[in-house]
Amino acid sequence: MTSIVPAGPAGRAAGSRGPAGPPPRTAPAPLAPRAGLLPALGAVYRAQLSRARVARIPLLFVATFQSVGIMVLMRGVVDGGAEARAVVAGSSVLVVAFVALNMLAQYFGQLRAGGGLDHYATLPVPAAAVVLGAAGAYASFTVPGTVVTAVAGSVLFGLPLTHLWVLAAVVPLAGAALSGLGAALGLLAPRQELATLLGQLGMSAALLLGVLPAERLPGPVGWARDLLPSTYGVEALARSFDARPDWAAVTLDLGVCAAVGVLSLAVATWAYRRAAVR
């Protein structure tokens, strides 16, 4: 049969429309504005605190039980006085070191190794909000264990409970210093296993240099103790057990602890930016 449709261009136009042209380009939708530091910090803090409550409660129990056990062991060799104050203060701050330094180093090491930083990098939140929110959540999570340890140690060694309100300043300041250090270690470590190792070493340093009385440490070890961020929180809490605390010295120790906390969190924020762009 012979087609009645002409074979020319007109015929093709009559039978079909031909290839469609490219769709008209549309302007890309504008991105959401970047969140402010405080709202983003609050959102990250709440999310991390909820996560810590679910996943870290057994670890908080272990940290508290470990610190109380150390005080029970030291009770056999320490009778009282300045050594007892150092043991109780060091054991209390050790709870903060176990969670804020050790666990946060492992968390950021795991986050970096598993690609979790890519998720945070896509969110319109400042880098400081991610670091500060996680650090604040882990430090806040240590409050119950630190209070239980301090009260148990005070009863065990016969120390006064009058000035334990100093914990309200020691926990956040020591927590900021230690969590900043832990976050920096986890973010700067090239491998997840190394981040875990560094976190464990940091917690061991807080144990050995914080719980043991400073007078019994050799000179070079005492210098290393002065470089540990938790040392000044331990000193402030130990001074508060005196009958008449030297509040000027307590304030000075807390001020040094705060300065170290600001520095360590700034380093952790820089480490987060460095790791997020790689």
Q: What is the mean pLDDT of each run of 10 residues along the chain (278 residues)?
A: 49 50 57 67 83 72 89 84 89 90 89 79 80 86 91 92 92 91 91 91 87 78 84 92 91 93 92 80
Give pLDDT, residue 134. Answer: 86
In three-state secondary structure terms, 102 is helix
- Burial code (b: 16+ CB inside 10 Å, e: under 16) for 50-78 equals eebeeebeebbeebbebbbebbeebeeeb
Give pLDDT, residue 140. Answer: 84
Give pLDDT, residue 1. Answer: 47
pTM over 0.85: no
> Rounded to whole angstroms, how far apart are CA atoms 25 and 54?
48
Give pLDDT, residue 198. Answer: 92
Give pLDDT, residue 267. Answer: 93
Give pLDDT, residue 111. Answer: 85
